[in-house]
Structures are given as structure tokens and as C-alpha cells.
Amino acid sequence: MANAITIESVSKTYQRDKMSVPVLNNVSLEIPEGEFIALMGPSGSGKTTLLNLIAGIDRPTKGRILVGGTDISTLSETSLAKWRSSKVGFIFQFYNLIPVLTAFENVELPLTLTKLTKAERKRQVELALQVVGLSDRMNHYPKQLSGGQEQRVAIARAIASDPSIIVADEPTGDLDKKSADEIMTLLTRLNKEFHKTIVMVTHDPSAADRATLVRHLEKGDLLG
Amino acid sequence: MKIFKIIFKNAFRHKLRVFLTIVGISIAVMAFGLLRTVVTAWNAGVEASSANRLVVRQAVSFIFPLPYADREQIAKIPGVEVVSPFMWFGGVYLDKKNFFARMACDPETVFDVYPEYLVDQSVKETFKKERNSCIIGEALAKQFNLKLGDVMNIDGDIYPGKWQFTVRGIYKPRDKTVDATQMLFDWKYVDERMKQDSPERAGMIGWYSVRIKDPAQSATISERIDALFKNSRAETKTETERAFQQGFVASSGAIITAMNVMAFVIIGIIMLVLGNTMIMSARERTREYAVLKTLGFQGGHLIAFIAGESLIISLMGGLLGLGILFPFVAAFEAFMPKGFFPVFNIENTTIIIAASSALAVGFAASIFPIQRALKTSIVNGLRHIG
Ligand SMILES: Nc1ncnc2c1ncn2[C@@H]1O[C@H](COP(=O)(O)OP(=O)(O)OP(=O)(O)O)[C@@H](O)[C@H]1O
Ligand SMILES: [Mg+2]
């Protein structure tokens, strides 16, 4: 199978008060299409940084990142924004829903950037909310939902534009065991039934068990 | 879902904060409008004055009289068309509070010099013939419910005694800047009584209004008039009506300047109020903006979100402010002594300045937050706690 994501000798250094802080050291990784990979490692080891580079919201200091054949490290800011909106779905630890928008509107948000008509958008949103099992909560605001439900709305938002890759940064980090299990079941379904390539950062071994591939980071080095 | 809907929902996220901001802006806009209205009312006399009219007054002060005999000499100067005498009469009508101009004038020439007071020809004829007739402004007639044929009793103070005038005409102002609260009557009627009661005060008038042919000649003619009476008992000072009015207004000039400055200081305050609200809102949303960027929204979208929100708030404040300005100005006018400001209305320019200031402030207040939102990288925005 073709690689969905190819990371070639990527290093990342942050500048902090004139000091350079190396965060990733010469990391190389290939993720085949349809894989569900879990990135684990201690706090500060660079997991989020690596995920952000794959998702195109940060740029490597050195090296190349190819996603679906595109070298995203060379794209302009504008092309990168367009690329993200069509190719990558994002799931965050703290859901990051917009509080003044309903569940429906939150899921619709990324679709407002597409050429879809209102009716087409409505169909997509309803479908996505159906997949995450929240068809009956469309008009609820985030604060009227439980954490698990909020994360499911976030997942619906991530899949609404039908991206091929989903990145998730500790998606169960803020949830109780039962909700966490539901979220993991959902992600597994997205991987198995909808053939999404998923890159997930997690501290939770039981979450990592659901992945098809687990890799560890340690102080900016990819182990194994 | 349109972008506008998001902007609107964002604007009303913190209901109390936005409510207070809008009320703050509207009070400021109202205060701005009120100050400007008072200032323009004050200046209305100057603006209404005409460039082809000169005012000849006693050199020392306009409270000292001039001889009626000067009139013919002034009339002989080339370029002078009409010379019309006026005299401030004072007196009390019904109650000391009633403050309006009561002036003795020359019925033969007054409307030639002041064509902005519109009356019928028949009224002018009656005014010339009937000694104790008077003509009053439309606004004055309305205020005291006076009709043609009514008698107005004035208690004299500068010119003591009981005076009775019959209303024979009501003039209409040619436009809004013309004072429609004056009372005009025949100088000869007053002078005849003076001849009997205190002859030493007879034959005197307050000032002359002189209509000239060519406004460009005003300086030359003024000099020639003043030269006529040089070294006489009553030296004159001649200036254009505009300068005369400005002299009148200048005595209160410092206050007017202060009010004008205040009006614009208020705009600065609105900016700070709104700027503060916008900066707080944008700071709280640092992470949200990062999420929006992550989802593919770009700089232009964020500018629209932030500027749009700021504009909605400033426009609502501006509209509300203008909405309460009208009743406020009406209340203010009612509170002032009647006729204190003969012309008191909210000018279109005031409304336009207020509305466009609100708009400009809306834009200005969003500059900082926009700059910040654009500058913050996605990664740092997502790491933001708040
Ligand atoms: N934008 C940034 N500016 C400066 N330093 C940064 C930035 N982002 C991350 N770092 C630093 O890089 C290192 C790795 O951070 P990263 O967030 O990738 O760790 P992580 O493995 O996701 O940790 P955690 O499990 O706590 O989320 C940390 O030392 C962090 O302080
Ligand atoms: Mg992390």
C-alpha cells in the first residue's frame, strides 16, 4: 500500500528567549494508508509537535513531510490553509468547539469554506452527526453537552469535509473511562469502516491498544 | 450559516459586557451630539449674518447710542444702498423669564435690509402707517399663542413706562438659521414718547444696519463711515455683520472652544471603551482563532470576524445614541430659558459626524485585536490557556 504520510529526517527547534530548544531530532517515519497509529511518550517528548507538523499547522526546521504525495513543507500559508481544510480532520484534547455555535453549526463551520450548497452542507452535517450518534443533539450548544458528547461533535466536525487523514491529540485525555471507550470505538470505526488514516497522540495504554501501530517518542527521538 | 451569523453571535457572547459597551457608546454619541448642537446654536447667529450688511455702532460699546442724525450722512456714501436704524428695547413681556429680542426699527427700511424675514406687502404697509403696531416672528407667535390683532403689553425698563403694541404681522423665517423669535416695532413710536418724557434721550438709536452693494467694498465703506464721525461726540465703529456677531459670540468663545474640544474628546473616550471591549474579547478567543485557522480559515476571515463584531457594536451604540439625542435635545431646550437659543436644532452635519465617528471608531478599535490574531501562530494560539 502507498504511504499516506512520509516524514523524512525532520527536525524542529523552537526559539525561546534567544535560546534554541531542540524538540524533534532527525525523525523519520512512514505511515501507510489506512493505518491507525498511536504516538506515545512522556510529557515534553515532542508528540504534539510531530502531530502539528503532520497536520500542516507548523513547519519543520529541517526535513520534508509528504502527505498524500504533497510536500507540505513547501506550500504557501494560503495553500496550506486550503490543503488542511480539505485533507485533514482535527480532534483536540479539549474539544475546541465554538461555544456560541450549536452542534450543527460547529460541524458546519469547516464546510462554509467549501463550495457546497446549503442543502449539501446540511446533508453532510446530518450524516456526520449520525455517525457519531448525536442526531438528536444538533441544536444543543457545547455547554449543554457532556465532555464525551462534545468530543463526538468535534469528531463529526473533523469528518464533515471527508478528509483522508485524521489527527487527534489526546482525544480521551479529558474524559472518563466510559466516554473514552466510546470515543475510541468511534475512532476505530472511522479507521475500519471509513478507511481514514488516523494519527493519534495518547498517554492512555488502553487507547493505544486500539491502534494498529504504536510508536514511542523520547526527548525528540523516535524509538524503535 | 453565513459569516454574518457568526459575527453576530460573537458580538453578543458576553451579554452584559456588550450591553454596557453599547450603552457607553450611545451616551457618548448623545453627549457629542448635544454639545455640537449647543455650539452650532451659538454660532447660528454668525452663520445667518450676511456679508453685504455692515453694522455701525458706537465706538466704545454697542450699549451706547448713536444720533439718528448720522443716518443721512451715512446714506450719502457711495456704495451704500440702505441705512436702517435699530434700537434694543429690552422691557418685560408678561414675565422676566421670557427672553426674546424686542427691537425698535424703521418700518420703511427694515425689510429691505433683512429680506430673510418674510412678510406680505400689505403687512409692510400697515406697519409703516400704524405707529404702535408690531411684527413678530412665527416661533414667538406660536410660543405665546399670539394672533393678528392681539395686544402685547411690555413693561419698559431701559425705556420706562407701560407700552402697548398691536400684532399686525407675523414674519416667517426664510430658512432654519433665521431667528423667528423677534419682536419688531416702530422706532418713531418710542422716540415720540422719549421727546415728551426725557427729551435728552430723544433722537438716539442703537446701531445702524447698512446694506451695501458689493461685499468686496465692505472694508473701504466701513472706513469711510468711521471717518465721517471721527472726533465727533459719538465716534463709530463699523464692521461687517458677521464680524459684529462674532464679537458677540467671541465673548463666550472660550467656553465654546472648550465645548468643541470636549465633543471630540468624547469620541476618543468611545474609542477607548470599545477598544477595551474588543481587546478583551479577542484575547479570550486567542485559542478559538487558532482553531479557526486550523480548520482553514484565513487572515481575511479573521479580519471580517473581528472588524465586523466591532462595527456591529459601534453602530448599535451610535444608532442608540442618535435615537436618544433627539428627545434629549428637546428636553434640554425645554429646560433652557425660552428663546435663549433662537435657533436650536440638530444639524445634519452633527448626525453625519456622529455616525461616521462611530463607524471609524468601530474600525479603529479592531485594529489591535486583528493585528494580534493575525500575528499569533496556530501552534501558540492552541497552547494559549484562557
Ligand atoms: N510553540 C512553542 N514554543 C516554544 N517551545 C515549545 C513550543 N511548543 C512546544 N514547545 C516545547 O517543545 C517541547 C515538546 O512539546 P510538545 O508539546 O510537543 O510535547 P508533548 O510530547 O506533546 O507533551 P505533552 O504530553 O505534555 O502534551 C516542550 O519542551 C515544549 O515546552
Ligand atoms: Mg502534547
**Residue A67 three-state SS:** strand
- Does B287 touch chain A if contact means CB atoms closer than 8 Å? yes
pLDDT band for position B257 (cuts 50, 70, 90): confident
Yes or no, beta carbons of A58 and B377 under 8 Å apart: yes
Chain mean position to CA B338: 15
Locate the domains of chain B by residue range. Answer: 3-44+252-383, 60-234
B244 and B49 Cβ atoms separated by less than 8 Å: yes
Q: CA-CA distance, A223 to B214, in Å (whole number)? A: 98
CA of A40 to the centre of ligand 2 (A): 10
Quick one: which of A151, A94, A162 has its CA closest to A128? A162
Q: Confirm or reject: Cβ of A93 under 6 Å from ligand 1.
A: no
CB contact under 8 A, B1 and A110: no
* pLDDT tens-digit series, residues A8-26: 999 999 988 889 999 999 9
- Average pLDDT (B66-75) is 94
Nearest residue of A to residue B14 by CA position? A100
Ligand 1 atom with the smallest distance to the CA of A201 is: 22
Alpha helix (H) ranges present in chain A? 47-55, 77-87, 103-108, 118-131, 147-159, 177-192, 205-208
Whether residues B1 and A113 touch (CB distance < 8 A) is answered with no
Could you say which of B2, B295, B378 has the minimum Cβ distance to residue A85?
Answer: B295
Q: Could you tell me which of A147, A156, A150 has the C-alpha nearest to residue A190?
A: A156
> What's the pLDDT tens digit per position in B131-141?
999 999 999 99
| The pLDDT of residue B249 | 57
Helices of type H across B131-252: 138-143, 187-197, 218-228, 241-250
How far is C-alpha A136 from the chain's CA centre? 25
CB-based contact, B158 to chain A, within 8 Å: no
Chain B neighbors of A77, CB-CB under 8 A: 298
What's the grid cell of residue B343? 435657533
3-state secondary structure of B207: strand
To the nearest whole Å, the CA of A105 is away from the closest chain B CA by 7
Average pLDDT over chain A reads: 93
How confident is residue A216, by pLDDT bands cut at 50, 70 and 90?
A: very high
pLDDT-derived band at A160 (thresholds 50, 70, 90) equals very high
Q: Which residues of B319-358 are buried (b: 16+ CB within 10 A; e: fewer)?
A: bbbbebbeebbeeebeeeebbebbbbbbbeebbebbbebb
Provide the β-strand partners of residue A222: A217
- Please answer yes or no on whether A58 and B378 come within 8 Å at the CB atom: yes
Q: B70, B59 in Cβ contact below 8 A?
A: no
Judged against a pLDDT cut of 60, whether residue A28 lies above it is answered with: yes
C-alpha A148 to ligand 2 mean position (Å): 20
Tally of CA atoms within 13 A in the half-sphere of B160 that contains its CB: 4
From the CA of A52, give the closest atom in ligand 1. Answer: 18
| pLDDT for residue B337 is more than 80 | no
Q: Looking at the domain covering A3-222, what would its CATH class be?
A: alpha beta
Centroid of chain to Cα A212: 16
Distance B72 CA to ligand 1 centre (A): 98
The ligand with the least distance to the CA atom of A59 is 1
What is the model's pLDDT at position B308? 94
Type and span of the H or E element at A198:
strand A197-201
Q: Which residues pair with A91 in a beta bridge?
A: A168
Cell of residue A197, nine digits: 488514516
Q: Which of A12, A100, A122 to mutate: most B Cβ within 10 Å?
A: A100
* Residue written as grid cell 455555535: A101
Determine the residue of chain B that is closest to A114 in CA distance: B296
pLDDT, residue A129, reads 96
- Chain A residue at shortest CA distance from B7: A100
Name chain A contacts of B293, Cβ cutoff 8 Å.
Answer: 57, 81
Measured between beta carbons, the chain A residues lying within 8 angstroms of B287 are 96
**Chain-centre distance of CA B352, in angstroms?**
16
Q: Which of B100-104, B298-302, B331-335 has the lowest mean pLDDT?
A: B331-335
Closest residue by CA, ligand 1 atom 16 = A46
Judged by a CB distance cut-off of 8 A, whether residue A141 touches chain B is no
CB contact under 8 A, A112 and B3: yes
Q: How confident is the model at residue B23 (pLDDT cuts 50, 70, 90)?
A: very high
Comparing A37-51, B338-352, B363-377, the range with the smallest average pLDDT is B338-352
**Starting from the edge strand earliest in sequence, which strands make up the sheet with A165-169, in order?**
A88-91, A165-169, A197-201, A36-40, A213-218, A221-222
For residue A109, the chain B residue with the least C-alpha distance is B1
Report the pLDDT averaged over residues B227-232. 92
**Contact (CB, 8 A) for B289 and B303:** no
Q: What would the DSSP string read from start to end of B4-48?
A: HHHHHHHHTSSHHHHHHHHHHHHHHHHHHHHHHHHHHHHHHHHHH
State the smallest CA–CA distance between residue A85 and chain B in angstroms: 5
- Chain A residues closer than 8 Å to B9 by CB: 100-101
**A127 vs B: CB within 8 A:** no
Q: To the nearest whole number, what is the mean pLDDT of chain B?
A: 89
Residues of chain B with C-beta less than 8 angstroms from the C-beta of A59: none
Considering every ligand atom shown, identify the ligand nearest to the alpha carbon of residue A42 and give its number. 1
- Residue with grid cell 488516523, as numbered in its chain: A198
Band of the pLDDT at B219, cuts 50, 70, 90?
A: confident
Residue boundaries of the structural domains of chain A: 3-222
Contact flag A57-B294 (C-beta cutoff 8 Å): yes
> Which of B200-204, B218-222, B375-379 is predicted with the least confidence, judged by mean pLDDT?
B218-222
Strand pairing partners for A64? A8
Evaluate if residue B248 carries a pLDDT over 60. Answer: no
Question: Is the CB of A202 within 6 Å of ligand 1?
Answer: no
Check B297 against A81: CB less than 8 A apart: yes
Provide the strand spans (E) within chain B.
53-58, 66-67, 80-88, 92-93, 102-105, 117-118, 133-137, 151-156, 161-173, 183-186, 204-205, 207-212, 236-240
Section B217-221 average pLDDT: 87
B:2-21 residues touching chain A, CB 8 A cutoff: 2-3, 6, 9-10, 13
Mean pLDDT of B31-47: 80
User: Hunting for cell 478583551 — which residue is that?
Assistant: B280
Q: What are phi and psi of A150, to 5 degrees?
A: -60, -40
Q: How far apart are CA B22 and CA B273, in angstroms?
A: 9
Which residues sit opposite B185 in a β-bridge?
Answer: B104, B134
- Does B374 reach chain A within 8 Å, measured CB to CB? no
* B189 has pLDDT over 70: yes
- Position A189 scores a pLDDT of 94
